[in-house]
Amino acid sequence: MNLTLTVNGVEHSLDVPANTLLTDLLRTQLRLTGTHVGCDTSQCGACTVHLDGRSVKACTVLAAQAGGRTVTTIEGIGSPDDLHPMQAAFRDCHALQCGFCTPGMILRAIELVEDGGALDNRTVREGLEGNICRCTGYHNIVKAVLAASDTMQEQSQ
Amino acid sequence: MSAETGIGAAVKRREDLRFITGRGTYTDDLNVPGQTYGVFLRSPYARAKINAIDAADALQVDGALAVFTGQDAAVDGLGDLPCGWLVKSKDGSDMVSAPHPPLAVSQVNYVGEPYGLVVAESLAAAREAAELVAADFEELTPVVAAAEAAKASPIHEGLEANLAYDWELGDEAATDAALAAAAHVTRLDLTNNRLIPNAIEPRAALATFDPTSGEYELRTTSQNPHLERLVLSAFVQIAPEHKLRVVAPDVGGGFGSKIFVYAEETVVTWAAAKVGRPIKWTAERSESFLADAHARDHVTHAELGLDEAGRFTALKVRTTANLGAYLSLFGSSVPTFLYGTLLAGQYKTPNIHVQTHGVYTNTTPVDAYRGAGRPEATFVVERIVEAAARETGRDPAELRRLNMIEPGDFPYETPVALVYDTGNYQASLDRALQLVDYGGFKQRRAASEAEGKRRGIGFSCYIEACGLAPSQLAIQLGAGVGLYESGEIRINPTGSVTVFTGSHSHGQGHETTFAQVVSDKLGVPFDDVEVVHGDTGRVEFGLGTYGSRSLAVGGSALISAADKIIAKGTRIAAHMMQAEPDNVAFEEGAFISGNQRLTLQEVAFASYVPADYPPDLEPGLSEKAFYDPENFTYPAGAHIAEVEVDEATGVVQLVNFVAVDDFGHVINPMIVDGQVHGGLAQGAGQALLEHGIYDADGQLTTGSYMDYCMPRADDVPDFTVDTTVTPCTHNPLGAKGCGEAGAIGSPAAIINAVTDAVGTEDIAMPATPEQVWRKLHGL
């Protein structure tokens, strides 16, 4: 099927099998390999991307469902020279080790902050419940999200 | 040296930039021209004979290229997957090894065991073809429970029993006599629950073969690519080492599970030459659950004798260890040398005897996972010490202190074959008691009770043997390889530095830490030092990363190489300054004689442009070293957990956790704290959430994240971590290793807190709400 969608600000028109998953479209067709696949039951969250600004697990979204919509992946939120505050906070707080869960974790965390609710240790932990990290014990991830939340709020004011 | 980047500085990790921007390169991110896709055929049965495999329909699928079976591999002479550690039974006989072909030939022995590989043009075609392979199995009765395995009929044809070995360590007669004479004996039955490691990146392999040169290249998720190459070359005999390159690119966590040489990458590499095309295989999570080596799975009876004063007189331990269906690469060593040797813990117990029965069952092979034997040993020692304190009415912290090896006792030889070089266990305990506010616990307990919750506190004063390992000792004990590490430092002609290490990083941050070590030692800017690892084509040799060994062994190899750089540079500099080498000092990156000074960069340039140069010296400034440790290192610490148990629901909430660890000298405290946090969460997972469960038919009932309960962000608290320091006495960094401590110490501390809260010793891991609720209600 023919599909047009915008990924990281670039419009793509593609011909894909109807059963193509968004993860496969991103990783295989567009070579955006920052979106990872860590499980087959929509539990781990490594594949989290933004679809029209909301975080989704791309392993359970059909590429067709993204037709006409805007997808943002880890490659689209900042660059090595111009990091998103959440990316910078993950580095500053040592919130990653092997890095495999990190893209999904960052995209979910950005949405958590952008939702605008009051964040503290408990609400951040609850908000990250759908993303599994095996390396960090979450301690520094929570610190990073709270730090980035402060930066993002300052920048939006 | 720079306070910002030298040893002891919390330098931000240089590898992070690629990971936070999605530019990491994990195995599954790689693609090569002409690539095909592999899907493994896996046994649906725990034990069955393979009567026939019919691939005719599968090969009709559009895009299907080939189906390989165990018979095909056997015909090609593909060797068995070896176990690298020979354990002897107490009668002196060698352990009983079941042959472990990469693809099952005549019988499958666990659910998920691969018996074939389907290769196709696309992943979809490979999956479709795999569905159409018709395998005729004849089901056999499986043996699943470890406790019954020794008496059950053997699962492997040709073996007399399921007992792989009956191993012992220590003086049984003296231990029995001391127990008989003890004023008090505490007895405890313990299980150490089966875990499934679950690095978030599933295993993967991409293999290519070049028929013009006969060279294979395997890119795979490995913690030790050189060991992978050694096994594939020497044992499986795919190709000699100079025709086989193994690359471990970015690897998304390992925790032990990516040490081992598995069937999948082995078969894919072999098959790449058969198909004449590159083959890529990436595990689905369901495959990871079935086919990654599992962990722990011990059943233990322990007895601890105490005298009237509370001093430990004897510890007797009887353990049955489930090894799974085959002996995995290090599977035999985990419940023996990495377990029994640690049963002295931090204490002066004079008599210890341990017996381990390693048994085969029709389950996934069991091998090393974060801690590997040492969490199991710590669980036995620290659970029974806590129980003894309760039974004899003593404060658990003070009973431990009474029995601890004291700072003046080192080096201390235990009754179970180790010599601890240094430590100060009292200092860690004191600091942990202070951080947890032990004196305030009664008030906190009362506050919890006012909210309908029972509060408990639990201790764990663990020790581990890390820095694996002194090669001669390890080989005497049955290891099939040396356990040194290699390092190479190249000073490039214009003064930048390339460091090659045989160690491997899959999250530990070597690219930063090792650069700190070399930058500090050679006095060169941190940004001028690049660290290369994970590629047999670039790094000469290595044993890889496991057993908290990277810094203590791999880092020490770099110090040895740096010493050689300085020694050669001194000779060059002496010639250039017309001084005697003995009169040249190396300080902060420069060679100094009197008021003359030459930087390392100037000397390096002179070594590559040898105009004014010692006539008897080779050009160039590149040195390598192999470092073989004299002894293990002995990280130790005190962990204290506090839990709240909801009486209505049985839910256990870990509300406070203090870990004070002695890792010797710390290179990067930020990274060390992170390692501890991660280990603690894995230990909390073992204690409260995780359990690999087989049903009576040998089906894994916890084969997905829907069923196997991984710790999530809201399952664990913020951790309070701190360190004390007694430097390792026998390596140049004074470092002991920090990777496993969190997972080693914490399960016992948490279960001690739960049993304290509930008021019974009879709580098994994981302490699920259902189990705790039943105990609370006497059910």
What token pair was written down for B467? 């820095």
Question: Could you tell me the strand order of the sheet in which B485-491 lies?
Answer: B529-532, B497-501, B485-491, B622-627
Helices (H) and strands (E) in chain A, counts: 5, 5
pLDDT band at B3 (very low <50, low <70, confident <90, very high): confident
B503: left (phi over 0), alpha (psi -120 to 50) or beta: beta
Q: Start-end ranges of CATH 3.10.20.30 in chain A?
A: 2-76
Q: Do A106 and B681 touch (CB under 8 A)?
A: no
| Whole-number percent of chain B with pLDDT over 70 | 100
Query: What per-residue confidence (pLDDT) applies to B380?
Result: 98
The position carrying tokens 């590898």 is B15
pLDDT band at B99 (very low <50, low <70, confident <90, very high): very high
What token pair was written down for A77? 């939120």
Question: Do the Cβ atoms of B486 and B529 come closer than 8 Å?
Answer: no
Q: What are the b/e assignments for B195-232, b being 16+ CB within 10 Å?
A: bbbbbbbbbbbbbbbeeeeeebbbbbbbbbbbbbbbbb
Q: Do B13 and A94 touch (CB under 8 A)?
A: yes
Give the mean model confidence (pLDDT) for residues B338-342. 98
The structural architecture, per CATH, of the domain A2-76 is: Roll (3.10)
pLDDT band at B2 (very low <50, low <70, confident <90, very high): confident
**For residue range A43-56, what is the model confidence (pLDDT) as tens digits?**
999 999 999 999 99
Query: What per-residue confidence (pLDDT) applies to A157?
Result: 81
Query: What per-residue confidence (pLDDT) applies to B779?
Result: 86
pTM over cut 0.95: yes
DSSP B581-607: GGG-EEETTEEEETTEEEEHHHHHHHH
CA of A151 vs chain B CAs: smallest distance (Å) = 17
Query: What per-residue confidence (pLDDT) applies to B1?
Result: 55
Three-state secondary structure call for residue A118:
coil
Question: Do the Cβ atoms of B226 and B245 come closer than 8 Å?
Answer: no
The position carrying tokens 């060994």 is B549
Give residues with Cβ within 8 angstroms of B406, minimum separation 6.
B426
Question: Do the Cβ atoms of B697 and B689 come closer than 8 Å?
Answer: no
Q: What is the ipTM of this complex?
A: 0.98
Does the pLDDT at position B497 exceed 70? yes
- Look up residue B637 and give its amino acid: G
Q: Where are the beta strands (DSSP E) in B647-685?
A: 652-662
Does the pLDDT at position A79 exceed 60? yes
Domains of chain B by start residue, with CATH: 16-22+484-627 (3.30.365.10), 31-140+201-252+258-291 (3.90.1170.50), 298-468+631-776 (3.30.365.10)
Q: Do B19 and A140 touch (CB under 8 A)?
A: no
d(CA B597, CA B611) in angstroms, rounded, equals: 18
Q: Start-end ranges of CATH 1.10.150.120 in chain A?
A: 85-156
**For residue range B213-241, what is the model confidence (pLDDT) as tens digits?**
999 999 999 999 999 999 999 999 999 99
Nearest 5 degrees, angle CA B770-CA B774-CA B776?
Answer: 115
Question: Do the Cβ atoms of B86 and B336 come closer than 8 Å?
Answer: no
Q: Centre a 10 Å sphere on the Cβ of residue A97 and count the other Cβ atoms it contains.
A: 30
Give the mean model confidence (pLDDT) for residues A81-107. 98
Does the pLDDT at position B640 exceed 70? yes
Q: For all residues of chain B together, what is the average pLDDT?
A: 97
Compute chain B's Rg from CA coordinates: 27
**For residue range B665-689, what is the model confidence (pLDDT) as tens digits?**
999 999 999 999 999 999 999 999 9
Give residues with Cβ within 8 angstroms of B173, minimum separation 6.
none
Does the pLDDT at position B404 exceed 70? yes
d(CA B123, CA A137) in angstroms, rounded, equals: 34
Across the interface, of B15, B678, B704, the residue whose CB is closest to A136 is B678
What token pair was written down for B280? 């890529």
Interface of A with B in 118-137 (CB under 8 A): 121-122, 124-126, 128-129, 131-137
Return the C-alpha torsion angle B103, B265, B276, B278, nearest 10: 140
**For residue range B171-187, what is the model confidence (pLDDT) as tens digits?**
999 999 999 999 999 99
**For residue range B31-41, what is the model confidence (pLDDT) as tens digits?**
999 999 999 99
Q: Do A140 and B16 touch (CB under 8 A)?
A: no
Most B CBs within 10 Å, among A100, A119, A133, to test the B interface: A100
First-to-last CA distance in chain A?
44
CATH of A85-156, one of 2.60.40.3080, 1.10.150.120, 2.30.110.10, 3.40.5.50: 1.10.150.120
Give contacts of B62 with chain A, Cβ < 8 Å.
Answer: none
Does the pLDDT at position A13 exceed 90? yes
Three-state secondary structure call for residue B374:
helix
pLDDT band at B132 (very low <50, low <70, confident <90, very high): very high
